[in-house]
Amino acid sequence: MLSGHMPRDELVNQMFSDMFKSKVKARIYTLLLRKKHATSEEIAKHTGFYPSTVREALSEMFEQNLVYRKKMKKDSKGKNPYIYYPVPPIKILRGYIKDIEDKFNRMNKSNRRLQIKIEMAKGDQT
C-alpha cells in the first residue's frame, strides 16, 4: 500500500457507500462478497453492527435487489434464519449506471425546456 492511498477494502467500501448511500449497507455487501453468504447474526458479529441495524439494512437491501436470501433449515426449534447472498457486482453497477444516465437525461431535458422558456421570455420583452 502506498502512503496517501486507501487500502483496497476501504476503496471498495467507499465505492459501494457512494452507490448505496449507506456505509452500513456497503460494509454488509462487501462482507457478503468476501464470505459468499452469511446469516444476519454472522454479519452482525463480523461488522460489529447491532443485530437490529443489520436486519433493517438487509431488509432494505433485499427490497433494492442488492442481496437475495434463502431460508436455512435447522433441526432445532425456533425460526429458520435467512442466509443472505450478494447480487453480482456487475448487475448492481449496471443498475447504478442506468440510474445516472436517467438522471442526466432528465436534467438535460429540463435544461432544454428552461432554455426555451428563457428565450421566449427575452423575445416577449422586445
Q: For residue 41, give the CATH number of its domain.
A: 1.10.10.10
What digits encode the pLDDT tens for the residues 33-77?
Answer: 999 999 999 999 999 999 999 999 999 999 999 999 999 887 777
Q: Is the pLDDT of residue 104 over 90?
A: no
Do 5 and 33 belong together in one domain?
yes
Decide: residue 43, CB within 10 A, 0-12 exposed, 13-18 middle, 19+ buried: buried
Total of domains in the chain: 2
* Better-scored residue on pLDDT, 71 or 121: 71
Average of pLDDT values for 80-97? 91
Do 53 and 74 belong together in one domain?
yes
Domain encompassing residue 54: 1-87
Do 115 and 80 belong together in one domain?
no
The three state secondary structure string of the chain is CCCCCCCHHHHHHHHHHHHHCCHHHHHHHHHHHHHCCECHHHHHHHHCCCHHHHHHHHHHHHHCCCEEEEECCCCCCCCCCEEEEECCHHHHHHHHHHHHHHHHHHHHHHHHHHHHHHHHHHHHHC
Do 69 and 126 belong together in one domain?
no
Do 44 and 100 belong together in one domain?
no
Q: State residue 109's pLDDT score.
A: 74
Task: Quote the pTM value.
Answer: 0.74
Do 78 and 92 belong together in one domain?
no
Do 32 and 70 belong together in one domain?
yes
Q: State residue 95's pLDDT score.
A: 86
Do 111 and 54 belong together in one domain?
no
Q: State residue 69's pLDDT score.
A: 96
How would you classify residue 30: left for phi > 0, otherwise alpha for psi between -120 and 50, otherwise beta? alpha
Do 82 and 27 belong together in one domain?
yes
Do 71 and 95 belong together in one domain?
no
Do 117 and 105 belong together in one domain?
yes
Q: Is the pLDDT of residue 32 over 80?
A: yes
